[in-house]
Amino acid sequence: MAQLNVNGTVLNFEAEDDTPLLWVLREQLGLTGTKYGCGIAQCGACTVHIDGEAVRSCSLPVSAVEGKAITTIEGLAQNGVLHKVQKAWIDNDVPQCGYCQCGMIMAVAALLKEKPKPTDADIDTSITNICRCGTFQQVREAIHMAAASA
C-alpha cells in the first residue's frame, strides 16, 4: 500500500511502481475528470498539476510523484468557488463534447500561474493540448478573459 497527496488529501493506493499516474487517479481513486486520450503524452487530456506544474499523467509513473502535491480538475475549485479559468470557460461557452477540456483547463491554470498575462505566442507555446472539436479560438479568448479577471 502506498500513498498519494491528491487535492490536499492523503489517499491510499496499490499499484506497480511503473503504473501511470492517470490509471491510479481514475481506477483506484475514482477521480475520473482526468481523461485518457492518447496515452503517449501527446494530447494533454490527462493533464494534472504536480507541485503546481502541468504534467501529462498518462506517461508519468506513479512512483515518481509519491510525496508531491497532485491537483486534478476535481481539486481546482477552492472552497466551492470556481477557479478563474473555469469561470472564463463557462462565460465563453468553450467546451463542445468536453472530453479534452479538463486537461485544457489544468494546462491553462498552470500557465496563468507562471505568466498571469500571456501573449498569443505564450499560449501557442504552452497550450499544446489537442481538441478534436476545434475549440482553439474559444480557448484563446477564454485565456485572455481569465487573465484580465481579478
Binding site residues, ligand FES, CB under 6 A: 36-39, 41-46, 56, 58, 95-101, 131-133, 135
> Nearest approach, Cβ of 99 to ligand FES (angstroms)?
5
Give min distance, CB of 137 to ligand FES, in A.
Answer: 12
Residue closer to ligand FES, measured from CB, 80 or 134 = 134
- Give the span between the Cα atoms of 129 and 148, in whole angstroms: 22
φ, ψ dihedrals at 22, nearest 5°: -55, -45
Rg (CA), the chain: 15
Nearer to ligand FES, 12 or 63 (CB): 63
CB of 70: closest distance to ligand FES in angstroms?
Answer: 15
At its nearest, how many Å lie between ligand FES and the CB of residue 2? 22
Q: How far is CA 7 from the centre of its chain?
A: 12
Nearer to ligand FES, 3 or 59 (CB): 59
Task: List, as one string, the DSSP characters of 22-85.
Answer: HHIIIIIS--TTSPPS-SSSSS-TTEEEETTEEEEGGGSBGGGSTTSEEE-GGGTSBTTB--HH
Torsion of CA 19, 125, 118, 50, to 10 degrees: 10
In whole angstroms, the minimum distance from the beta carbon of 29 to ligand FES comes to 17
Measured from the CB atom, the residue of 25 and 112 that comes closer to ligand FES is: 25
DSSP 111-122: HHHH-SS--HHH
Give the nearer residue to ligand FES in terms of CB position, either 46 or 123.
46
